[in-house]
Amino acid sequence: MDDTPGRLIRAPENFLDAAGVRRVFDEGKQGRRDFIRRAFAAAGAAAAGGAARAAANPVGPEGGDPNILELPEHSRGLGQGVAAEGYGKPSRYESNVQRRHSPGLTQTRQASVSFAPLQSLFGIVTPSGLHFERHHQGWWDVDPSKHRLMLNGSDERMLRRPMVFTMDELMRLPSVSRFHFIECGANTGMEWGNVAVPTCQYSHGMLSCSEFTGVPLKVLLELAGADLKRGRYVLAEGADGSSMTRTIPMEMVERGEVLVAYGQNGEMLRPEQGYPLRLVVPGVQGVSWVKYLRRIEVGDQPYATKDEAVHYIDLMPDGRHRQYTSIQECKSVVTTPSGGQVLLDNGYYNISGLAWSGRGKVKRVDVSVDGGRSWRTARLETPVLSKCLTRFNLDWVWDGKPALIQSRATDETGYVQPTYRELRAVRGSRSIYHNNSVQTWLVQESGEVKNVQLS
């Protein structure tokens, strides 16, 4: 990522101004995803006859004779027919569920970000139309019939038979399909600087999860006669103008996990995600998932490219740089209730969120509603997959008093997601990247939920 988030930390008012924050809350109050007052009351009091009328007549009698049923148009008329051919779209009532750019976050829209609306999503699959975007020099719709992937070595000992593949050639090879999360290394980066961005779309929305399909890179390297003993690293290079290049350790490739992927959620990759070819590097930060992938080189040492030597590094308290940190450590976030949402009534709520780990499966998620003083273990939705999002849910009855909601994930290695205090004790506070600390949402007595950091 470029240095824009650093600028932003110094000028948080650029992110969303006061009017923007107010708009988020107002939309929340009117929105479907919020919780209307008097839930259950009307339903519980209704007699069977009244209930039947209400269901048959959802637009309500509104002054008319309540004994006369007025069926809505969709219960009486002919609906829309199937099209001769088509590709469906969401409901017009869901037009508020969008990925969003933040004006002022970056100087250009080509080297920028759009965030996935985590607060509106369910389960673990991110619809491809809502997958977060991170471009370094804009996105392209590359002609797949002209796209090529080259494999070569830094010298002849590393790879015996340099090869060039067309898309057709790649797509007839052995393929696998796997569910994985992808998270930008800069996700939740603004929080390092105590910028409590208002919603989880903006705080955690550089995160998505898909079913990816492609050829294991190991298969291609074996075809090309790569020497996996000498060649302990590969360089991945993209075809767009940013010439994105990243070093990947060969041990990840040897595990068969790294994919040369063309499929995402059942169809071809979307252009914003590197159509027609992207590297999938499970558990590793998004910048290594090189888009518009055109070349893989096998070498015997890390390549120290710009995007790993200068960017995506962490400035440590002693002034040194932490480089080549690629694994996204265990992390979680509550998505409902979350910043910008409004609880309009006391009573039962389903606390729901996402957990993930770049090192394997999520083992457990604990949830606190009192800022970490007490914890309850959440229910994990199945399947729990390695290096994939895991959805958790927990019952909660809100008593109407202020509540501090947190989640804390533990992965199968036993690693526990740290608090800010714990993370800063090691990493200081001058980083932009690799923030995986516990997130806190404050539910105020008004029901408005806001992002806060506990000291």
Question: Could you say which residues in the range 107-166 bind a second copy, by CB under 8 A?
Answer: 108-110, 112-114, 120-131, 133, 135, 137-150, 152, 156, 161-166
What is the sign of the dihedral through the CA atoms of 336, 339, 344 and 345?
Answer: positive
Of the candidates 141, 418, 117, 434, which has an alpha carbon nearest to the alpha carbon of residue 274? 141
Q: Rounded to an integer, what distance in angstroms lies between the CA atom of residue 59 and that of residue 190?
A: 44
- Which one of 89-97, 278-286, 319-327, 435-443 is the stretch in contact with a second copy (CB under 8 A)? 89-97
The answer to the question of residue 87 lying near a second copy (CB under 8 A) is yes
- Which one of 9-17, 186-194, 250-258, 264-272 is the stretch in contact with a second copy (CB under 8 A)? 264-272
- Nearer to a second copy (CB atom), residue 256 or residue 317: 256
Q: Which of residues 21-50 bind a second copy (CB under 8 A)?
A: 32-36, 39-40, 42-44, 46-48
H or E, element range at 59: none
Tokens linked to 201: 């779309």
Residue 349 CB, nearest approach to a second copy (Å): 5
Tokens linked to 322: 């932490």
Task: Show Cβ contacts of residue 344 under 8 Å, excluding neighbours closer than 6 positions.
Answer: 29, 34, 35, 36, 37, 447
CB atoms within 10 A of CB 91: 7
Interface with a second copy (CB under 8 A), residue from 14, 66, 173, 315: 173
Q: Which of residues 388-407 bind a second copy (CB under 8 A)?
A: 391, 393, 395
- Nearer to a second copy (CB atom), residue 338 or residue 431: 338
Q: Which of residues 366-385 bind a second copy (CB under 8 A)?
A: 381-383, 385
Of the candidates 113, 126, 112, 117, which has an alpha carbon nearest to the alpha carbon of residue 99? 117
Residue 411 CB, nearest approach to a second copy (Å): 18
Interface with a second copy (CB under 8 A), residue from 13, 20, 69, 72: 72
Tokens linked to 81: 């027919």
What SS3 class is residue 21? Answer: helix
Residue 17 CB, nearest approach to a second copy (Å): 15
- Nearer to a second copy (CB atom), residue 100 or residue 230: 100
Residue 317 CB, nearest approach to a second copy (Å): 34
**Residue that has been written with the tokens 């696998």 in this structure:** 176
- Nearer to a second copy (CB atom), residue 151 or residue 438: 151
- Which one of 54-62, 324-332, 365-373, 424-432 is the stretch in contact with a second copy (CB under 8 A)? 54-62
Terminal CA-to-CA distance of the chain, rounded, Å? 28
Of the candidates 243, 366, 231, 229, which has an alpha carbon nearest to the alpha carbon of residue 299? 231
What SS3 class is residue 193? Answer: helix
Q: Rounded to an integer, what distance in angstroms lies between the CA atom of residue 308 and that of residue 183?
A: 16
Q: Which of residues 332-361 bind a second copy (CB under 8 A)?
A: 348-350, 352
x/- map, 183-222, a second copy, by CB under 8 A: ----------------------------xxx---------
Total of chain residues touching a second copy, rule CB under 8 A: 135
Q: Which of residues 276-315 bind a second copy (CB under 8 A)?
A: 276, 292, 294-295
Interface with a second copy (CB under 8 A), residue from 10, 65, 68, 74: 74
- Nearer to a second copy (CB atom), residue 102 or residue 437: 102
The answer to the question of residue 13 lying near a second copy (CB under 8 A) is no
The answer to the question of residue 83 lying near a second copy (CB under 8 A) is yes
Interface with a second copy (CB under 8 A), residue from 26, 169, 251, 370: 169
Task: Say if CB 119 and CB 152 are below 8 A apart.
Answer: no
Residue 361 CB, nearest approach to a second copy (Å): 12
The answer to the question of residue 260 lying near a second copy (CB under 8 A) is no
Task: Say if CB 404 and CB 441 are below 8 A apart.
Answer: yes
Interface with a second copy (CB under 8 A), residue from 92, 229, 373, 401: 92
Q: Rounded to an integer, what distance in angstroms lies between the CA atom of residue 42 and that of residue 61?
A: 15
Residue by residue, DSSP assigns 311-343 as SS-EE-TTS-EE-S--B---EEEEEES-TT-BB
CA-to-CA dists, residue 221 to 161, 168, 276, 421, angstroms: 9, 18, 20, 44
- Nearer to a second copy (CB atom), residue 159 or residue 248: 159
Q: Which of residues 400-439 bind a second copy (CB under 8 A)?
A: none
Residue by residue, DSSP assigns 30-44 as HSTTSB-TTTTHHHH
